[in-house]
């Protein structure tokens, strides 16, 4: 039975329609590049520590994206999570959409884009959004156990990066972010991008910014992740030893625009399926986000208000407006 969501039938009219404007973006403009790469081992030696921290901050403000190696997430955890991802996504589509599989519920299963009106709004992918509730008794080697192990390691890494990024921003040390972004307020997304042989330039995931403080992504060797840099789309060269870190909207607001939450997207591949996993460092909904600096570019808002506004905008207009909804009057 077919594991793929019914993209061809659902989107037939759109696929048969006019050329996709992003064909041009992908074939002409997107060059492949190596993102800034930070060796976290350098944090252990006094000598390179300060330089390493500076590199993180520069990358977060100039790129909004960087890679980390020697990040402390073992290959064993990454491989086991990948196996879980294979197992669940290779199930028939009908089952994913209607049954609990391994530890994944149909309510948390997403595919495509609801009611796209143009090819530009189409995401050729499927995903499980994985909330991380307080752990109950989980058997070792169960998918839930692997997810717990992975997210514990990711939280540690995310907090370490927050500590570095927050240092020097007006006397804050990131404690506020760390206290409000705990293991249960964060979540994972397991992504699968089936091949899209019908048309080039179809998005695996439409251009967006993340609503998190930070996102940490593990992509496989297929590639396709692109980010906006100086007005151009750039393809991130896959590096299996590295994790990709990007700044989310909340960090941009909190840092008063010092760190950039940049647009990124995934291009589909005509032959190859692609897998990725993203860990979102998010606070509880009642956490208030306010900039440390004066004058603040954004008004203060709670994470709940932010999410609600994003949802409302997506429902009404088909796309996320994001932080510009919260600009302070004087900005
Ligand atoms: O699949 C990727 O490489 C990126 C995923 C992503 O941007 C997201 O899930 O927000
Ligand atoms: Fe993203």
Residues 215-254: pLDDT tens digits?
999 999 999 999 999 999 999 999 999 999 999 999 999 9
Rg of the chain over CA atoms, in angstroms? 20
> What 3-state DSSP class applies to 267?
strand
> What 3-state DSSP class applies to 228?
strand
pLDDT for the residue numbered 137: 65
Residue 143 has which token pair? 């998918």
Separation CA 311–CA 294 (nearest Å)? 29
Instruction: Please determine, for residue 200, whether its predicted confidence score (pLDDT) is greater than 60.
Output: yes
pLDDT for the residue numbered 28: 47
Nearest residue to 264 via CA among 249, 243, 251: 249
pLDDT for the residue numbered 318: 80
Specify the ligand 1 atom closest to the Cα of 215: 10
Q: Tell me how far the alpha carbon of residue 212 lies from the centroid of ligand 2, in angstroms.
A: 9
Catalytic residue among 156, 189, 274, 315, which? 274
Protein residue closest via CA to atom 5 of ligand 1? 278
Separation CA 262–CA 247 (nearest Å)? 7
User: Is the minimum distance from the CB of 225 to ligand 1 under 6 angstroms?
Assistant: yes
Output the average pLDDT for the chain. Answer: 91
Protein residue closest via CA to atom 8 of ligand 1? 278
Protein residue closest via CA to atom 10 of ligand 1? 210
Q: Known catalytic residue: 274?
A: yes
pLDDT digits (tens, 9 = 90+) for 256-293: 999 999 999 999 999 999 999 999 999 999 999 999 88
pLDDT digits (tens, 9 = 90+) for 7-48: 999 998 888 876 655 554 555 457 888 899 999 999 887 778
Q: Tell me how far the alpha carbon of residue 45 lies from the centroid of ligand 2, in angstroms.
A: 32
Phi, psi of 236 (to 5 degrees): -80, 120
Domains parsed from the chain with CATH numbers:
27-288 (2.60.120.330)
Separation CA 286–CA 134 (nearest Å)? 18
Nearest residue to 297 via CA among 251, 259, 331: 331
């Amino acid at each position: 039975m077919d594991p793929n969501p019914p993209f061809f039938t659902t989107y037939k009219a759109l696929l048969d329609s006019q050329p996709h404007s992003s064909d041009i973006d992908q074939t002409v403009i997107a060059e492949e590049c190596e993102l800034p790469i930070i060796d976290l081992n350098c944090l252990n030696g006094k000598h390179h520590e300060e330089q390493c921290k500076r590199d993180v901050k520069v990358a977060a403000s100039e790129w909004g994206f960087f890679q980390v190696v020697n990040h402390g997430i073992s290959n064993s955890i990454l491989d086991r999570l990948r196996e879980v991802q294979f197992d669940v996504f290779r199930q028939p589509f009908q089952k994913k959409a209607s049954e609990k599989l391994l530890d994944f519920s149909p309510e948390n299963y997403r595919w495509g884009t609801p009611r796209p009106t143009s090819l530009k709004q189409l995401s050729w992918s499927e995903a499980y959004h994985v909330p991380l509730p307080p752990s109950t008794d989980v058997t070792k080697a169960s998918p839930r156990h692997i997810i717990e192990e992975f997210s514990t390691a990711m939280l540690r890494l995310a907090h370490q990066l927050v500590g570095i990024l927050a240092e020097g921003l007006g006397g804050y040390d990131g404690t506020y972010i760390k206290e409000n972004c705990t293991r249960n307020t964060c979540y994972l997304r397991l992504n699968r991008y089936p091949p899209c042989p019908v048309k080039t330039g179809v998005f695996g995931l439409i251009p967006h910014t993340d609503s998190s403080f930070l996102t940490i992504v593990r992509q496989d060797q297929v590639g396709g992740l692109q980010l906006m840099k100086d007005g151009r789309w750039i393809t991130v060269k896959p590096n299996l030893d590295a994790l990709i870190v990007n700044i989310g909207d909340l960090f941009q607001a909190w840092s008063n625009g010092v760190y950039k939450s940049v647009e990124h997207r995934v291009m589909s591949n005509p032959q190859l399926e692609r897998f990725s996993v993203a860990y979102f460092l998010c606070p509880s909904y009642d956490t208030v986000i306010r900039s440390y600096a004066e004058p603040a570019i954004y008004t203060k808002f709670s994470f709940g208000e932010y999410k609600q506004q994003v949802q409302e905008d997506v429902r009404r207009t088909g796309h996320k407006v994001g932080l510009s909804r919260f600009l302070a009057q004087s900005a």
